[in-house]
Amino acid sequence: MTQDHIVTERPPATRNDTAGNATARTYEVRTLGCLMNAHDSERMAGLLEDAGYIKADPGAPADLVVFNTCAVRENADNKLYGSLAHLAPIKASRPGMQIAVGGCLAQKDRHIVLDRAPWVDVVFGTHNIGSLPVLLERSRHNQDAQVEILESLRTFPSALPAARDSAYAAWVSISVGCNNSCTFCIVPSLRGKEADRRPGDILAEVQALVEQGVLEVTLLGQNVNSYGVNFADPDPSTGEAPLPRDRGAFAQLLRACGRIEGLERIRFTSPHPAEFTDDVILAMAETPAVCPHLHMPLQSGSDQILKAMRRSYRRDRYLGIIDKVRAAIPDAAITTDIIVGFPGETEHDFEQTLDVVQKARFTSAFTFQYSPRPGTPAADMPDQIPKNVVQQRFERLVALQERISLEGNRSLVGTRQELLVVAGEGRKNATTARISGRARDGRLVHFRPDSADGSVRPGDLVDVEITDAAPHHLIADGPLLQHRRTPAGDASERGQTPTTRGVGLGLPRITVAQAQTPSSAGHPDTACR
């Protein structure tokens, strides 16, 4: 049986209910890992919905559970296999239920997944997301597990349909893969070399999202400010590059996005300090829609450790970028990633990291305890740090950063902030009736939603005055200073999210006729090619 000719006795995305009637199969996608994975999960959901599946209600058992996995940290392995073990008896009691495992861990472990969890039906990698519906049907038809891992990208993921999670904010991939060789990171071996998406395709997707009400986009890449590097790849026939590399491509992309009418907020993640150029800082400062927020991984403040990590910059270079950003954008929030306990890290090296944290005054930091990942050079390095030492250093770093974060947040008490109201990023407090929003600089703010204009919905914009601060959030307990109802808020109220549709790799479209449901009705069919 080939992928082009799938033989089935009934439409593949259906199951028989207790009365013997064919009904659409339900799905759930569980995401482990980074923002890139979260965006890939939207692509998986879009493919499944194109194939006739419908999203399972929260808490309801699904006919299909897809895990989109991470291979960067050890606890991601534990989460996956723990979840698979939990599903084993459920699957045994539900004939026809399927489980699929994709993403970075699947790309790395391949057949190990089936060795540890033989009840899994499909294993697929980072390069063939578009194969998921076909692999599921092949597994159903053959009554056998399907493992398909490709070594290179078949098509850019954004050519695939996406079922978006949010009515007001969206991720847009500008590149996949990475050309760096950090010794602690396995991502380049799993996602491949950097492949950049053409700017016209990116802008078309952003435009389509804005036309459906989206107010904020986040441009995604493993190293966004190297964007454009493979536009100058050598011609295979001549060996010559068609064009010299344009190191200003990412800054130009930011400015072009900023010219799209109706797009109010632009974010990006993550830049690499070695590739950071002054024109990006100017584009941030001169493009009103670009948010005053820079997330730039530090990893270590020690030049010796940065060298061992193969991070092609040093502490002075990093601090120099921050100085330039703050000179151009005084109110910029700067956040970072830091690894504690890298092999060979001495007390002096760690104190160098604390020193950079003191000087940089980060708004917040994602701090990680180093864990060796098989297949990375760092895993085989000598002088692995004892866990108790790593834990102690981690606690010292967190304490310092929390103090700095609190001081920075307290400096905003009394200021006016515009918030994009968000769902799912803070619990509504029964006593205070607070809900949450994100300021333009990315800070989380809990506020009281009293408004003369009616109820405040996710996707609306409100202005508030900050009344209190904590290390990880701000509080605004006064009256709303302004409330702007938006098309994104209207869509949230209707339970609608935007869709972007593409060409699914030339694979067969496996669909079933079904009536529109409230969750799918009214979604514009946009094409981004």
Instruction: Classify residue 205: in a domain, yes or no.
Output: yes
Are 213 and 316 in the same domain? yes
Is 70 annotated in a binding site? The answer is yes
Q: End of a domain among 363, 392, 410? A: 410
185 is in an annotated binding site: yes
Question: Could you tell me if residue 503 is inside a domain?
Answer: no
Query: Do 295 and 213 share a structural domain?
Result: yes
In 3-state terms, the chain is what percent helix, strand and coil (to 5)?
A: 35, 20, 45
Mean pLDDT split into 10-residue runs, the chain, 529 residues: 35 56 85 81 88 92 94 80 95 95 88 93 89 92 90 65 85 90 86 87 94 96 87 58 72 97 97 95 98 98 98 98 98 98 98 99 97 90 97 98 98 98 72 88 93 78 98 96 95 87 35 31 29
Q: Which residue has 């790309």 as its token pair?
A: 107
Domain count, the chain: 3
Please identify which residue in the block is written with the tokens 């969206």: 170
* Helix (H) / strand (E) containing 68: strand 64-69
440 lies in a domain?
A: yes
On whether both 65 and 106 belong to a single domain, the answer is: yes
511 within a domain of the structure (yes/no): no
Q: How far apart are CA 249 and CA 382, in angstroms?
A: 40
| Residue 291 labeled ligand binder | no
Instruction: List the one residue out of 163, 55, 132, 24 whose CA is nearest residue 512.
Output: 24
Both 258 and 377 in one domain: the answer is yes
Domain that holds residue 426: 416-485
Tokens of 74: 């050890």
Give the residue from 476, 491, 10 showing the smallest Cα distance to 210: 491
Strand partners for 504 = none
The closest of 481, 429, 472, 488 to 453, measured between CA atoms, is: 481
pLDDT for the residue numbered 433: 78
In Å, what is the CA distance from 277 to each residue of 195, 199, 248, 371, 482? 20, 19, 8, 31, 37
Res 219: pLDDT: 96
Mark whether 432 and 389 lie in a shared domain. no
The dihedral over CA atoms of 362, 367, 373, 375, expressed in degrees to the nearest 10, equals: 0
Where is the domain boundary, 363, 383, 410?
410
Q: Torsions phi, psi of 36, nearest 5?
A: -60, -40
Q: What is the pTM of this model?
A: 0.80
Query: Is the Cα dihedral 73, 76, 82, 84 positive or negative?
Result: negative
Shared domain check, 462 and 378? no
At 174, phi and psi to the nearest 5? -110, -20
Name the residue type at position 101. V
- Take residue 135 and report the two structure tokens written for it: 């692999």
In a domain, 509, yes or no: no
Specify the CATH number for the domain of residue 262. 3.80.30.20
> Does 528 map to a domain?
no
Q: Which long-range contacts (CB under 8 A, 24 or more apart) does 203-208 make?
A: 203/256, 203/257, 203/260, 204/528, 204/529, 205/158, 205/172, 205/500, 205/528, 206/172, 206/257, 206/260, 206/263, 207/260, 208/498, 208/500, 208/524, 208/526, 208/527, 208/528
Whether 328 is in a domain gets the answer yes
| CATH number of residue 477's parent domain | 2.40.50
> Do 318 and 244 fall within a single domain?
yes
- The answer to whether 178 is annotated as binding is yes
Is residue 398 located within the same domain as residue 349? yes
CA-to-CA distance for 268 and 290, rounded, in angstroms? 9
| Claim to verify: residue 116 and residue 194 sit in the same structural domain | no
User: Using CA atoms, how far apart are residues 122 and 124, in angstroms rounded to an integer?
Assistant: 6
Q: What contacts 24+ positions apart, CB below 8 Å, involve 284-287?
A: 284/254, 284/325, 284/328, 284/329, 284/332, 285/328, 285/329, 286/255, 287/254, 287/255, 287/257, 287/258
My answer on whether 82 and 134 are in the same domain is yes
The CATH number for 91's domain is 3.40.50.2300
Terminal-residue alpha carbon distance, the chain = 30
**Is the same domain home to 28 and 83?**
yes
303 and 385 in a common domain: yes
Asked whether residue 46 is assigned to any structural domain, the reply reads yes
- Among 375, 391, 410, the domain-final residue is 410
Side chain identity at 344, as an amino acid letter? G
pLDDT at residue 104 in the model: 87
pLDDT at 163: 74
Q: Is 182 annotated as a binding residue?
A: yes
CA nearest 25: which of 3, 53, 4? 53
